[in-house]
Amino acid sequence: MLLLLLTGCSSDEEQREKARLKIYVFAPDRPIVTRADNGDVSASEAEKKINSLHVWVFEHETGKYVGHISLSNVTLSETTGSAVTMELDDAFADQETKPNVDVYVAANVTSANCGIALNAKTTRAQLEAALIGQNYFGLSSPVKDVPTDGLPMTGVMKNKKITGSSPVFQVSEDGGGLANVRLVRAVSKIRFVFSKSTSNPDDVTVNSVKLNADVMPTSEYLFLDNAYELATTKWKVGGEFETEKTLVSSVEGEDIATNDSPASYSWDGVMTGQEYETLIQTGIDQGKLKDLGTFYLRESDQILSGTITYTLKHTEAQKNGTEAATTNTPSFSMKTAGDFSRNHTWIVYAYFVSSGDLVLGIVEVKDWGTSENTSQSVYNW
């Protein structure tokens, strides 16, 4: 009889379906609603690819570990979200009243591209304190290409309810409905684009494009709570880079693309971010604009600014037997401290008109909390 009872218990345990928790994660392809209202800016395949994904769940009040899952080569929907399912232990699943939870999601965050090692044993406190190190997505070694491991992305939601019934539970909002994590790229990018009027006979050399000193922090938090509503939340960490940094060096005149109307590629104050990005990219693809570099940088709570140094050799002077040349260093700057936040791109477009002067047309980001303001353009990618 005892043997039969033990056999029966074993059978019941084997038949019990393992409890699972569903968490909905969205791809970072669409703009964050609280940050922009001017259209969807698509990322390239490399920029949106998710090579690795980590999801952690902790009890909100205690920080106690609830579960973790690690996945590779994940494709997430940017419209409906994708369900990531992790197993729950029986002790948590069997609680009649389950505690609220915090959910942390990280994609493409590795030792190779962020200097951070994450695994199932990583605690909530460690995630809160995790920093993208100085030598990653900074100015000491500018990053022009998407790393092999992909661009780092993160998302976090806190103090959410657990609803559903065994064996399938989900993370939900207080007022009902499923909660979800929107991944956001933890870096931003700046793009320098140049052209010259076909009517300008002068030879031009772009000697350098530099970012000023003290505009970039030396490290950056991996997770940023409320980053998309509050510009002042948990940004600058440690010191700043103390010297200016050269991003572009010595581009000769023959490498500067020409077109009949350089001014037509300036932002007109009306185009959406997507429309302007498309205009610029089309000009580059057609050989009418020159992309001198797209750089992936950490975000900054400072006013991002820099200089462009160029030299013009005047054709008429050369015809007269002289080597007259002028070197100038105009400045470019964002409008407000904190404008260069994660998941944003900034285009600095400069062109040489027939007079030989450099005209800077800068697409700046709008202020926080002023989405109705169309005097500036902001977009995610």
User: Which structural domains are found in the chain, ordered by start?
Assistant: 18-185 (2.60.40.2580), 188-363 (2.60.40)
The residues pairing with 26 across neighbouring beta strands, listed in sequence order, are 182
Omega of the bond leading into 262 within 30 degrees of 0 (cis): no
On whether the CB atoms of residues 186 and 152 are closer than 8 A, the answer is yes
Q: What sign results for the dihedral spanned by CA atoms 41, 44, 45, 46? A: negative
Look at the chain and count its residues: 381
Q: What sign results for the dihedral spanned by CA atoms 189, 208, 324, 316? A: negative
DSSP notation for 96-161: SSPPPEEEEEEES--TTTTS----TT--HHHHHH-EE-TTSSSSSS-B-S--TT---EEEEEEEEE
Q: 157: closest CA among 10, 282, 57?
A: 57
On whether the CB atoms of residues 381 and 43 are closer than 8 A, the answer is yes
Print pLDDT tens along the chain (381 aa). 444 444 445 455 556 689 999 999 988 755 443 333 334 444 567 888 899 999 999 999 999 999 999 999 988 887 788 999 999 999 999 998 999 999 999 999 999 989 999 999 999 999 999 999 888 988 877 888 889 999 999 999 999 999 998 899 999 998 878 888 888 888 888 889 999 999 888 888 888 999 999 888 888 889 886 555 544 556 667 677 777 888 888 776 567 899 999 999 987 777 766 677 788 889 998 999 998 888 898 888 888 899 999 888 876 655 555 567 888 888 888 877 777 778 777 888 888 887 667 887 665 434 333 334 333 334 445
